[in-house]
Structure 1
């Protein structure tokens, strides 16, 4: 009796650890399904036009946009050339957001489930793992900036903290005070994740307002004190090759928002009506990115004339806030301004990590183990890996920062092309929704042993010409040859190659059962509450794989 009780206890504990299920829901947690993976039911579609505008205020008006524009100056471009890169990159990012978010708006599914019709039920694990990997690095970078912002806040309250003795080796590129700030920021982040995605509009609006107030305050201070935009608007170009440097700048913008555009349907699936996200994606995306980057360039330029004791450009608003406090001798008024400026930066980092990383990566991890991982649990796992990624090493220099960001975009770009080609051209926006949740040959998305080789080949074609240049840039950022130039255009080249390669392969070897399904979820059964998954459950009765994993 005792021998048999151990397995029973183990199964009991495993059952308790399973993800919660809504009381009136007809879905079950199994290998392919949980609450966060099913198409969003009508009652959870809470995002209208204003909500998506707020989304882009978070995504575009952030430290990443501010620092990217400024870091282009460090790469040798003039302020005017840097802004041209940001404008072009922002417009392209907006157009890609519309295209990538279209299926979320129509079928109310996210990237995790959308990968199944392109890559196969088992093959979908590959793009999901790649995106989780890139999210870990981005989460780490954004968290590090958040930790620095908290450190600046603490330094405004306790001026001595700014000169705290460092007990960590200099080769680590992080000081003790920064680590303290990072740990406190993590403590702020944990409860933030408890808010479900469909209820985040108000926190997003508050954090965006606070961050923009910080930037406007820095703009007024720097321009008023200097009497203009500063010397950077009158400097000459120092880039070795201007044309390729500009292309590199555009690619870095696309690389920064690449995972965001690829996963737009993670958020557009919450749209409460058709076309609600479109205007924000077309207008708010490029405008917020461009305005924030422009503010960064102006503030960086003007502040360089004020903080003459600084030997390098301060292309981070957080570093700039700390330098302002030092410049004015930690006077009470300046300390108060720096505190609220740091607060705006820290809450902005909370929101940007939720928008671009936590929700998307959480859902991706849910796709790997739906019975035990949902968006919230996945976000906590992401946080653990994010701090282990040592993001401060990536941010040590501007050149390394841009190279790594562009490299991550190189991984994701072909996936974007594959998804767009499959959804718009090959399948003509028609999906058989129930088959996205059947893990056997009964699903039309099973392909060969659960894998769609067409996507794998197209992805390989889209990445093989980019990675030699990526390795060369990491070894020596001054390299300039054909491979490096291809890498400088990695996102554009990757999207184009992935799109064309997948389209061509499918033209010669068409996927099975094209044309089956519906062009919108509203034409099909509604998943979840009081609607039933009866057709899916009926289809699963003959699937031993799903029955085994549902027990």
Structure 2
């Protein structure tokens, strides 16, 4: 049967995972999410919510709503991966056609490599802080090379090597790493929380700050907060089949995600607020950046342990949320030449060429560009859900996904309803970046994108004959 597959659409990494190899339990899925939710960006997100006027308790409400929506979206988008054992880059061919699918795959891959680069550089700073604390000789290597001190280049090489080691033996080593890293990050986070409770003699001052928003102002800020929280994981909502294809049952994937995503986020957010409350009492201002907090405490042992924790947290989110999907996306582009090991190495190389040490000085440009690209993934999510549940009725001919000129080929490899839905959805969600009249759309861009992608795709796809595989 394999001989009938197109060489540019199939290799062993992209092939469906055999049922006997789908051995991830709910615990594996939960610990993977634990490792991803506990990251620096999520830690600092509470600061952004409080900065727009929400109280600490309202921050928790925003987190609850956002992660509940994410959980439902990922639960439904993960089902096809668990049922058929196929990754996102193969599943998306059903909606876009084998050639058209390259558009969302490239968009998702770009975001993954970029975020890998940025987050790995954050871990590089932590590694540099640890080694500078331990060695005066290391701290003295400050000669700049291509815009970065030589000690930072060495620290980056170490961090990149750690990523390479974890991803070198594929998804199963990543699973085993997350089984340890996810719970360990929680343990260290709990230690920081107990420290914050001790210093603050309770929840601390941030929990006593009242909300500054009421009426429509509160509703608007709440919507912005929910959309922002969802935006952190909107890319992963698209490629969740990359993980769920290894889970042994639908029950395991839904229980694992329920524990690892909304429940963990609801525990993690107050931990961040409590820890930061202690910094208000110690330093007279809230310090939300964990690295800045370590330096402010000026305790070598804490700097080393805390820095190691930040590196561990970065590794746990990077290997799953960025290296894994980017590797599959690259394999999909070059199936004749890449396997997972080679693709993950290529992700590391590409990450260096994104020169993250230069981007760090232009954070506004980073988020503006990623908001535009990420906004296009809202329509992709809507299209995927519409295709699988409404158009295909949860029935796919998996073999046809690996062939040209078969039932998913569309118009010479392009399924136009999906292409049109993506272009229209992306244009609307990105319009606010360029047209002031559409600026308000940005506050709910992901929701608008999902609804537009879903609605337009269903309307157009129903006018095109769709071969049925319901009898399979």
- After TM superposition, the score normalised by the length of structure 1 is 0.78
Residue-by-residue CA offset, 1:473-497 (whole Å, 9 max, x unaligned): xxxxxxxx65222111111111111
Q: Which residue, out of 142, 164, 171, partners 1:197? A: 171
Structure 2 partner of 1:544: none
1:466 lines up with 2:392 in the alignment: no
Q: Which residue, out of 152, 158, 180, partners 1:206? A: 180
Alignment of 1:241-280 (within 5 A): 241-280=217-256
Structure 1 partner of 2:160: 186
Structure 2 partner of 1:514: 468
Distance apart, 1:119 and its partner CA: 0.5
Q: Is the 8 A contact 2:22 2:248 kept in 1?
A: yes
Alignment of 1:384-423 (within 5 A): 384-392=349-357, 403=368, 406-423=371-388
Q: Which residue, out of 447, 463, 468, partners 1:492? A: 447
Q: Which residue, out of 39, 42, 57, partners 1:62? A: 39
Q: Which moved more, 1:41-50 or 1:417-426?
A: 41-50
1:452 lines up with 2:415 in the alignment: yes
Secondary structure of the structure 1 residue equivalent to 2:252: coil
Residue-by-residue CA offset, 1:357-405 (whole Å, 9 max, x unaligned): 1111101111111010122222222222223324456555886676555
* Structure 1 residues without counterparts, runs of 5 or longer: 1-24, 326-333, 473-480, 519-551
Q: Which residue, out of 9, 14, 18, partners 1:41? A: 18
Secondary structure of the structure 1 residue equivalent to 2:432: helix
Structure 2 partner of 1:291: 267
Query: Structure 1's 190 and 80: CA in aligned 2 closer, same or farther, altered over 3 A?
Result: same
Aligned residues: 469
Q: Is the 8 A contact 1:89 1:250 kept in 2?
A: yes
* Structure 2 residues without counterparts, runs of 5 or longer: none
Query: Structure 1's 387 and 100: CA in aligned 2 closer, same or farther, altered over 3 A?
Result: same
Structure 2 partner of 1:225: 199
Distance apart, 1:457 and its partner CA: 0.6
Residue-by-residue CA offset, 1:297-326 (whole Å, 9 max, x unaligned): 221222122124xxx64222222122212x
CA RMSD of aligned residues (A): 2.8
Q: Following the alignment from structure 1 to structure 2, what is the Cα–Cα distance between the partners of residues 386 and 177? A: 19
Q: Following the alignment from structure 1 to structure 2, what is the Cα–Cα distance between the partners of residues 98 and 280? A: 10
Q: If each structure's helix is expressed as a fraction of its own residues, which one has the higher value?
A: 2
Larger Rg: 1
Q: Following the alignment from structure 1 to structure 2, what is the Cα–Cα distance between the partners of residues 175 and 232? A: 37
Secondary structure of the structure 2 residue equivalent to 1:514: coil
Structure 2 partner of 1:376: 341
Q: Which residue, out of 29, 33, 58, partners 1:81? A: 58
1:353 lines up with 2:330 in the alignment: no
Q: Is the 8 A contact 2:378 2:446 kept in 1?
A: yes
Residue-by-residue CA offset, 1:435-464 (whole Å, 9 max, x unaligned): 11112x2x1111111100100111112111
Q: Following the alignment from structure 1 to structure 2, what is the Cα–Cα distance between the partners of residues 82 and 166? A: 43
Q: Is the 8 A contact 1:150 1:185 kept in 2?
A: yes
Distance apart, 1:33 and its partner CA: 0.9
Q: Which moved more, 1:134-143 or 1:193-202?
A: 193-202
Q: Is the 8 A contact 1:47 1:270 kept in 2?
A: yes
Query: Structure 1's 241 and 225: CA in aligned 2 closer, same or farther, altered over 3 A?
Result: same
Secondary structure of the structure 2 residue equivalent to 1:430: coil
Q: Is the 8 A contact 1:105 1:275 kept in 2?
A: no
Q: Which moved more, 1:99-108 or 1:239-248?
A: 239-248
